[in-house]
């Protein structure tokens, strides 16, 4: 030890700021409150009681009635919003159910917007995969490839249907090129200038969406690598976010969250609009399954993951644990 470092040793004590709960609270850099969280919800056509999703302990497919009840609870708990996903009874090649005003997602949106639309932000997933019989996020050309521009026309129609149903923020999760500007133009032309757009800008082709496929009874047999991003590419994720900013996105998102905190940080540093992250089904399920086995404290692990996502730069996070944590009073 040099003389200088011996001098410093007793003075430089970072632990000083960790000695009492009051001091720790005062110096805490990041907080996690109900308003920072958005709860994804699944509504399935034809159900008359909620049905558990095996690969997502604690998460259910909802009937219209149980959806209404849980949305009210989300509002009472002070959550920032709910993101609705529809599970239709029938599917076809172009996803007709997505644009039908009587399709399950649009019916559910109408019900929820009327019930809680003034207290939290009612949001809808804008993508075709739940509604197509092939399970892809777009429509297919005659060679079976996802047709970008034909898909944009379907997204534009879907956006109008969701806006008419009362959705306040549309989650563009299809990863087609030009989707933000296509949907913005369609909404504006139809007079829906106040409906906001959340661009799932940096959405990676991830194995962590596995349990979601159960949640929406997905029909997909192939993969989504011609439109979702390669997990190897950070720069490309930033590029997608910059494109969405140019196209008029009101919020940009990175998804999944935990494996992509570097991308999230870079996007947060560059973005001129709020940046959100989606802690996806597999990220939720890993913790829930380990907790069921008694291998870790599920609540603490969910909180730590969400706090880390906020620390990396997310203004808000989509999380399946949002309502549970809020109702337990763990978000302060
Ligand atoms: C597309 C969509 C998906 C998710 C959200 N929106 C599925 C996919 O792209 O394969 C996944 C969310 C999750 O895993 O929690 N409609």
The CATH number for 170's domain is 3.20.20.70
Please say whether the beta carbons of 87 and 43 come within 8 A: yes
How many C-beta neighbours within 10 Å does residue 145 have? 11
> Within a domain: residue 37?
yes
Please report the pLDDT score of residue 206 as a whole number: 97
Q: What distance in Å separates the CA atoms of residue 72 and residue 200, rounded to the nearest whole number? A: 26
**pLDDT (mean) for 18-31:** 97
Strands 60-62 and 51-52: antiparallel
Please say whether the beta carbons of 212 and 201 come within 8 A: no
What would the pLDDT profile of 150-189 be if each residue is shown by its tens digit?
Answer: 999 999 999 999 999 999 999 999 999 999 999 999 999 9
- Helix crossing, 281-292 with 298-311: angle to 10°? 150
Please report the pLDDT score of residue 100 as a whole number: 98
> Within a domain: residue 161?
yes
Facing residues of 198 across strands? Answer: 171, 251
Q: Is the pLDDT of residue 1 over 60?
A: no
CA angle 242, 247, 252 (to 5 degrees): 55
DSSP 277: E
Q: What distance in Å separates the CA atoms of residue 225 and residue 292, rounded to the nearest whole number? A: 33
> Within a domain: residue 95?
yes
298 C-alpha vs ligand 1 centroid, how far in Å?
A: 23
Q: Whose CA is nearest to atom 14 of ligand 1?
A: 209
CA angle 272, 276, 278 (to 5 degrees): 155
Atom of ligand 1 nearest to the CA of 228: 9
Q: What distance in Å separates the CA atoms of residue 199 and residue 3, rounded to the nearest whole number? A: 56
Tell me the CA distances in angstroms from 134 to 131, 221, 257, 325, one per residue in order: 9, 8, 27, 36
> Within a domain: residue 283?
yes
> Within a domain: residue 15?
no
CA angle 92, 200, 307 (to 5 degrees): 130
> Within a domain: residue 225?
yes
Q: How many domains does the chain have?
A: 1
Question: What element of type H or E holds 200?
Answer: strand 196-203
Domain that holds residue 208: 31-327
Q: Whose CA is nearest to atom 16 of ligand 1?
A: 127
> Within a domain: residue 176?
yes
Please report the pLDDT score of residue 297 as a whole number: 98
328 is catalytic: no
Atom of ligand 1 nearest to the CA of 175: 9
Please report the pLDDT score of residue 221 as a whole number: 87
First and final C-alpha spacing in the chain:
44
pTM recorded for the entire structure: 0.96
Coil, helix or strand at residue 296: coil
**pLDDT (mean) for 239-253:** 98
Q: Whose CA is nearest to atom 12 of ligand 1?
A: 280
Strands 81-87 and 60-62: unpaired
Tell me the CA distances in angstroms from 195 to 68, 121, 162, 191, one per residue in order: 22, 11, 10, 9
**pLDDT (mean) for 103-126:** 97
Q: What distance in Å separates the CA atoms of residue 86 and residue 318, rounded to the nearest whole number? A: 17
Q: What residues contact residue 54 under an 8 Å CB cut-off, 6+ apart?
A: 214
Peptide bond between residue 256 and the one before it cis (omega within 30 degrees of 0)? yes
Confidence of residue 9 (pLDDT cuts 50, 70, 90): confident
Q: Which of 203, 212, 260, 261 is catalytic?
A: 203
> Within a domain: residue 223?
yes
Q: Is the pLDDT of residue 4 over 70?
A: no
The response to whether residue 125 sits with its C-beta less than 6 Å from ligand 1 reads: yes
What would the pLDDT profile of 256-285 be if each residue is shown by its tens digit?
Answer: 999 999 999 999 999 999 999 999 999 999
Strands 169-172 and 196-203: parallel
The response to whether residue 87 sits with its C-beta less than 6 Å from ligand 1 reads: no
Q: Which of 4-13, 152-161, 200-209, 298-307 has the lowest mean pLDDT?
A: 4-13
pLDDT-above-70 percentage for the chain: 98
Q: Whose CA is nearest to atom 8 of ligand 1?
A: 209
């Amino acid at each position: 030890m040099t003389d200088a470092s011996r001098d410093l040793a007793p003075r430089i004590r970072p632990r000083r700021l960790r000695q009492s709960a009051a001091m720790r609270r005062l110096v805490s850099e990041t907080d996690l409150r109900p308003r920072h969280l958005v709860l994804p919800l699944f509504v399935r056509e034809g159900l008359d009681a909620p049905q558990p999703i095996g690969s997502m302990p604690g998460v259910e497919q909802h009937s219209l009635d149980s959806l209404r009840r849980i949305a009210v609870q989300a509002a009472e708990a002070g959550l920032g919003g709910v993101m609705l996903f529809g599970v239709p009874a029938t599917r076809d090649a172009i996803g007709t159910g997505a644009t039908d005003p009587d399709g399950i997602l649009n019916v559910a949106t109408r019900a929820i917007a009327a019930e809680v639309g003034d207290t939290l932000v009612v949001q809808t997933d804008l993508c075709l995969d739940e509604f197509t019989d092939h399970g892809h996020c777009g429509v297919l050309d005659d060679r079976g490839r996802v047709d970008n521009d034909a898909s944009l026309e379907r997204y534009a129609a879907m956006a109008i249907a969701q806006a008419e149903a009362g959705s306040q923020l549309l989650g563009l999760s299809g990863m087609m090129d030009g989707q933000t500007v296509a949907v913005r133009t369609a909404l504006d032309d139809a007079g829906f200038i106040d409906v906001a757009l959340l661009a799932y800008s940096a959405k990676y082709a991830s194995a962590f969406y596995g349990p979601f496929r159960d949640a929406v009874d997905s029909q997909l047999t192939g993969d989504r690598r011609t439109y979702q991003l390669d997990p190897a590419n950070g720069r490309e994720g930033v590029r997608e976010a910059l494109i969405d900013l140019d196209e008029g996105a009101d919020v940009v998102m990175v998804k999944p969250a935990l494996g992509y905190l570097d991308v999230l940080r870079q996007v947060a540093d560059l973005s001129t609009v709020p940046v959100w992250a989606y802690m996806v089904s597999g990220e939720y399920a890993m913790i829930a399954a380990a907790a069921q086995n008694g291998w870790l404290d599920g609540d603490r692990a969910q909180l730590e993951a969400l706090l880390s996502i906020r620390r990396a730069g997310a203004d808000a996070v989509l999380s399946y644990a949002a309502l549970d944590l809020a109702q337990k009073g763990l978000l302060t």
